[in-house]
Structure 1
Amino acid sequence: MSSILTNNSAMVALQTLKSVNANLQETQSQISTGKSVASAKDNSAVWAISKVMESDVKGFKGIQESLSLGESTVAVARNASETVTDLLTEIKGKIVAAQEENVDRAKIQTDIDALTDQIKSVVGAAQFNGLNLVSGTEDVNVLSSLDRSGSGNVAASNITVQRQDLSSIAGTYGTTAVTGGDLTALGSLNGSASATSGAQAGLSAQIQITEGTTTGFAANDTFSLTVGGSTITVTLDGTEDATGVATLLQGEINARDIPGITATAGANAGELVISNTNAFAEVDIEVAATLGDTSGSAGANIEELNGSTGLTQTTGTIAQRAETIDFSAAANVSEGDGFEVTVAGTAFRYIAGQGETMEDVARGLKTAIDSNPPDGVTTQVQQNETTGAYSLAIDYDNASTTTIALSASTGGEASGGLFGLDNLDVTTNAGADSALDNVETLIQNSIDAAAAFGSAQGRIETQSDFVGKLIDSLKSGIGTLVDADMEEASARLQALQVQQQLATQSLSIANQAPQNILALFR
């Protein structure tokens, strides 16, 4: 049936043409914009994802700038630490030269003072855009990442760079005292917070020579004694009694001139007292006898060692002359914890910094005491080979007595990592000796600082490289979601153009169909 009111063929042709034109317009848009999803109406889900990723890319570009700034700041601090290490090494060379007594120590001290001033100049100038990582103790955070969770929450991640204080400030002692068991848990002198020391003649061991109950000593009987690494052996002629043996051993020991070791006769028959006057060295001791007659209790034993009675043994150790503050191997040290040692009425303080240990505390207190030691006071840091705990040994070589006391506090301001640098003094023998030990601590602190900054700089560089690659990956992913396939779009364009022409022609033919009805009315 034909109708002049309804042209179904034309309507179909028109709809086809509209569809072809819409597809053609979409393809032309893809070619002109380069995107298959250029707006939310093209594909709202994909468009939303792409916009979130684009915002992340923008954020990571900002992170790259933050990492570049952080890397430059850490690089300045690392270079400063390395320079300080080199300057401290030069100072060490000067201190070594000052160990000789026939050198001009005053001129050497002038060189050390100049190098000290140069170190302070380096530390003060080691800033980048106003941030100095070798001064102070507060951590510095470098923005390193934006972490997006599955729920869409975004959190910033940071690389924490610890400041390495290379100043020489003394710090501020806290006002909150540590007392009682809390104090002795940190460190103690003979189990308490204080000890009396003085007239340091040395500690001793008492050797007891005993004769058999049946006969005396016989010819060719031998006694040997090892002390301070030297072994003394005496052979008897058969006329000696216990006191005579002790006298022979006494003479041999004193004739050897063993450093810090002296022998004297005891109060009782057959007693020999061996004293150790070495300030910071224990002395091992061993006795033995080879006898023809071993009846009864004949022989030799260490009856008294370091003040402990009732011992019956043939080996032992004479303790060092110094008093020791034994610090706990298990106690934690927090920034601002202050430690004070009082020697000969003078208080010496060190305030711990961030991440420090009891070893740092012991070395800091040693540096403080060595900076202005009372007359006759020398110090040494020691470590227990069994427990790993550190001790501060203090020798008071003075005829008077003094109380050595330890106290502690919290809430202070940390001493600088180069604490004691200003007090290196080689103008005296004692000063040159202590300076040689203390400069090693300063060098190790600067080396540790340079190593810490080097590690942080390496991490920042690695993160910066990763962020750069991450940005490229995100861009590629976004492109995969929204970019148009230009080869496909080109082929579709040509096909749609042909379809458009055919649809137009088809519509034209369909529109001519009603005209054929006119022929029926002619």
Structure 2
Amino acid sequence: MTSILTNMAAMSALQTLRTISSGMEETQGRVSSGMRVGEASDNAAYWSIATTMRSDNMALSAVSDALGLGASKVDTAYAGMESAIEVVKEIKAKLVTATEEGVDKAKVQEEISQLQEQLMAIAESASFSGENWIAGGVGTDTTAVDVTVVSGFVRDANNNVSVKTTSYNLNATAQAAAGDPQMTLLFGGDATGVIDEATGILGSVATDWALVDFDQSTAGVQAAAGAVSGESVYTLDITNYTNTDMAEALTLVDAALAAMTSAGAELGSISTRIELQEDFVNKLSDSLDSGVGRLVDADMNEESTRLKALQTQQQLAVQSLSIANSSTEVILSLFR
């Protein structure tokens, strides 16, 4: 039946054109944004996962920045400790020189005094962003203090998130017994954080090193030493030392070197761990970006092909609608 009121062919063509236009709008949106899942309405599951992963990636970016800051602190401390070790090695060499008969100990002491001043200069300057991990620190002259650096960001199987840290112990108190933590600070800090010259590896006097036998008595037992008993590496003055005093001074310096080497090794291991974590965080961030891309990114080759096809279909649909609308004009010839 032919009707001038209802054109079924035109209605069908119009519906097709609307469907094609909707498809073109969706495809053009993907082409312009580069994403096939840009909103929750596109795919709620993928959109939710991608949003969470992007949030985690932002956290990882912050962790990466924190790792860089932590690495700078550790590297500064390590550089200071390494420099101090070299200076103490020089002091040890001067002590060995002074044990020779006929050597003017006063002249050697002048050199040692300059090296001692250099040790303080190193300790004071090894600071990054207001933190010094080899000297000072509030109350470290009496109590060990832990400092931390960010080392990771974790989302566990229960979807709980947490930030992981690595700690380093700032200790300026000499060992009282075997097994106690070794000193890690060249000098401790008082209640206000000012460097305390009488504490730490370089500031502790000989008799504070209970694990070192300064008078050749029973090993591991603290006893009254001679001229060295009230001296530290930082205050050592060999001008009037006897041969026995020189031997004890060497023991003191060697003990300090051992403690500094241990602290340097720990700083080095933390630095290595941070470097590994930085590398892992960068790779993890790239993996998250890649994972999100697989979920929500549009395949531009596919979308461009689809857009071209839809443009052709749209042209055909318009042509079809035009034919459907013109078909009713045939009825006019019946009334001529």
Instruction: Give TM class, smaller chain.
Output: 0.7 to 0.9
Alignment-derived partner of residue 57 in structure 1: 57
RMSD of the TM alignment (CA)? 3.2
Give the TM-score of the pair, scaled to structure 1: 0.53
Q: Does 1:455 align with 2:269?
A: yes
Contact 1:366-1:379 at 8 Å conserved across structures: no
Higher helix fraction: Structure 1 or Structure 2?
2
Q: Is the 8 A contact 2:207 2:224 kept in 1?
A: no
TM-score, with length taken from structure 2: 0.80
Gaps of 5+ in 1: 172-185, 187-326, 337-349, 354-360, 371-377, 383-390, 398-418
Deviations 1:204-228 (A, max 9, x none): xxxxxxxxxxxxxxxxxxxxxxxxx
Give me the whole-angstrom Cα distance separating, in 2, the residues matched to 1:97 and 1:380: 26
Residue type at the aligned position of 1:513: S
Distance 2:262 2:283 in 1: 32
Which of 281, 286, 297 is the matching residue for 1:467? 281
Match in the other structure for 1:92: 92
Q: What's 1:163 paired with? A: 170
Whole-Å separation in 1 of the counterparts to 2:217 and 2:114: 27
- For 1:183-213, what per-residue CA distance to the aligned partner results, in whole angstroms no more than 9, with x for missing partners? xxx9xxxxxxxxxxxxxxxxxxxxxxxxxxx
Shift of 1:131: 0.6
* Cα distance change, pair 362–52 in 1 and its aligned pair in 2 (3 A): farther
| Same amino acid, percent of matched pairs | 38
Could you say which residue in structure 2 is the equivalent of 1:428?
A: 241
Rg (Cα) greater in structure: 1
Alignment of 1:230-249 (within 5 A): none
1:364 counterpart residue number: 209
Residues 163 and 380 (structure 1), Cα distance of their counterparts in 2 relative to 1, 3 Å cut: same
Per-residue deviation, 1:443: 0.7
Looking at structure 1, the residues matched to 216 and 86 of structure 2 have their Cα atoms a distance apart, in angstroms, of: 27
SS of the aligned residue for 1:162 comes to: strand
Deviation at 1:472, TM superposition (A): 1.4
Contact 2:171 2:200 in 1 (8 A): no
**Contact 1:335 / 1:352 at 8 angstroms: preserved in 2?**
no
* Whole-angstrom CA distance in 2 between matches of 1:37 and 1:449: 52
Flag the 1:381–1:18 CA change in 2: closer, same or farther, 3 A.
farther
Which secondary structure does the structure 2 equivalent of 1:142 belong to?
strand
CA 1:74–1:144 in 2, change beyond 3 Å: closer, same or farther? same
CA 1:392–1:494: 2 relative to 1, 3 Å: same
Q: Give the C-alpha shift of residue 351 in structure 1.
A: 9.5
Equivalent residues, number:
305
Query: What letter corresponds to residue 251 of structure 2 in structure 1?
Result: D
Structure 1 residues 94 and 352 mapped into 2: Cα distance closer, same or farther (>3 Å)?
A: closer
Give runs of aligned pairs for residues 227-376 of structure 1, distance below 5 A: 333=180, 364-365=209-210
The CA deviation string for residues 404-461 of structure 1, in whole angstroms up to 9 with x for no partner, is xxxxxxxxxxxxxxx9323434322132121011111011111111111111111111
The C-alpha deviation readout for 1:472-504, integer Å capped at 9, x for no partner, is: 111111111111111111111111011101111
After superposition, the Cα gap between the structure-2 partners of 1:432 and 1:396, relative to the gap in structure 1 and judged at 3 Å, is closer
More strand by share: 1
Which residue of structure 1 lines up, in the alignment, with residue 258 of structure 2? 444
Report the equivalent of 1:11: 11
Aligned-partner Cα distance in 1 for 2:84–2:224: 32
Which residue pairs with 2:36 in the alignment? 36
Q: Pairwise mapping of residues 214-233 of structure 1 onto structure 2 (< 5 A)?
A: none
Match of 1:152 in 2: 159
Is the Cα contact below 8 Å between 1:148 and 1:154 reproduced in 2? Answer: yes
